Structure 1
Amino acid sequence: MQRPCDEVAPQETTLVPLGGNTFRIRWYHPDHGPGCLTALAEGAGAGLLEPWDDCGRTTPFRVEPAGPDGSRRYSLRVDGRGCVAIRDADTAEGAEAVVVPCRPKDSQAFVIRSAP
């Protein structure tokens, strides 16, 4: 779900390296504990990203540059299924992140930067 960067705290989101340019997307929230994102592959929620407590069973994401050097813009690819995008390129708070076919679109580019 899309939110302004300055409103994310106290949740912490990190990329956990799995090898090469593949990562798990992990977060920690003081009220809910740790979890990781998985991309649902089937059923009514196919294409949606869902938080799971068991990080070992979640989706690996490939992180690839999606902008000029130094832009910190990256795409998040789910092998064989597509890329993470903001549904319908919606810019509103609360817009859903979904897996769709990969295309060079701004709705599929995410700014990733180191934590302070």
Structure 2
Amino acid sequence: MNPALIWTPILLVLSNIVMTYAWYGHLKQPSWPMWLAILVSWGIAFIEYTLAVPANRIGYGTFTGQQLKVMQEVITLSVFAVFSVMFLGEPLRWTYFAAMGCLVAAVVFIFLPVD
């Protein structure tokens, strides 16, 4: 089996977990000054890049750039759904599921054979 088929999605999921925390984790710290929130987020984002860059380099060739991007977007929305409920305490509304359905449709389309 092609290792890219396994490692690419795993690394993308891990990178999105880290990046979601970098982008939104500071929302639970409203007393932090903006500069601190930015520095902490950038520090966390550095870790995300150490996962995302290898994911894309390993996956490219097995997947097209377009397929990698659409896969990453669906993973991002999935990770954020869990994060928003568990960390931010926000409910998922029907509109979120409708948006996810549109992204899943995008995955189906991007992986259809062109010939």
Flag whether TM exceeds 0.5 (same fold): no
TM-score, structure 1 as length reference: 0.23
- Give the greater-gyration-radius structure (CA): 2
TM-score, structure 2 as length reference: 0.23
Greater RCO, 1 or 2 (C-alpha within 8 Å, sep 6+): 2
Structure number with the higher helix fraction is: 2
